[in-house]
Amino acid sequence: MAYKVGIVGATGAVGQELLALFAKRNFPVGEPRLLASARSAGKKVPFAGAEWTIAEATPDAFAGLDFAVFSAGGDISRTLAPEAVKRGCVVIDNSSAFRMDAAVPLVVPEINAAALASHNGIVANPNCSTAIALMGLWPLHLAFGLKRFFAATYQAVSGTGAAAMRELEAQTKAWAEGRPLEAQVYPHQIAFNLIPHVDSFLDTGYTKEEMKMLNEGRKIMALPALRASTTCVRVPVLRAHSIALNAEFEKPVDIAAARAAIAAFSGAELCDDPQNKTYPMPWFYSGKEKCGVGRLRQDTAFDNGLALWVCGDQLWKGAALNAVQIAEALFPA
């Protein structure tokens, strides 16, 4: 069976990865309807051996579609997703617009695919850092019972979009040529720098991005009492996020059992041989479907604690791949 599929934000970084992944995973797309802003309408985008014309994303553009993946920001999702649902189109939303809505399932298929059964036309995709972190934390939770964790993220510029990737490349080239570095996407230069500021700041001093790890983690894992504290940092890496995690569990942690739990989990691969300099790095996890988990060791601050390092492609498991996996669960071939 072939499906009529809409992609909102088809010209953006995540939209382009969605098209690539639908093709790579042989998803039965019978008719792609590629949607974007009015200024992008009329552009041509290649897919499945043909060129397809971008149309403007309007309410009526969703008529006749089986589902649409939204990757154009929260404002567009809040405006157009309900309109798509009215026209019989299921929405898989990559923005933060509906993630914490009690009526909308927030889904990582390896963890809570069963929640898809309760959708009312909209399914939310989690934040990129949350999805990647949970590829390490979820199998360990099943083995030992997760209580709380601390996280420090090392977030690639791909999380901001294609313009940020171009800015990092341009600044790096300018530095090599001895020219001034211009910052437009970020408040400071990102080349050769770290910016401990992802998303807007709240009155608590945390950013919205940092609170997503706690709030979304609670919802996805069905752990309302989970506690977490996160510091999010933008780093001069083009693609793939890395996250340092220190987690405390209900049960005593056994390192061999922890490694076995990671190795057996479908969303991750164990990459943990530090004596041979083998550990997850963004260079090797760009364009990979599974996230890498390594540097597993007993935590020296927590009782029943484990320290670990997780690395995953922000544009894939952190966004496009997770959305495609949701589509595969909802619309089987």
Positions marked catalytic: 128, 241
β-bridge partners, 45: 52
Q: Write the single-letter amino acid at 172.
A: T
Structure tokens at 129: 């850092």
- Burial (CB count <10 Å: 0-12, 13-18, 19+), residue 215: middle
Residue environment code for 279-314, b if the CB has 16+ CB neighbours within 10 A, otherwise e: bbbbeebbebbbbbbbebbebeebebbbbbbbbbbb
Return the structure tokens found at 10: 């088809």
Strand partners, 268: 291
Cβ distance 89 to 331 under 8 Å? Answer: no
CB atoms within 10 A of CB 201: 11
Residues 6+ apart with CB under 8 A from 237: 154, 156, 157, 282
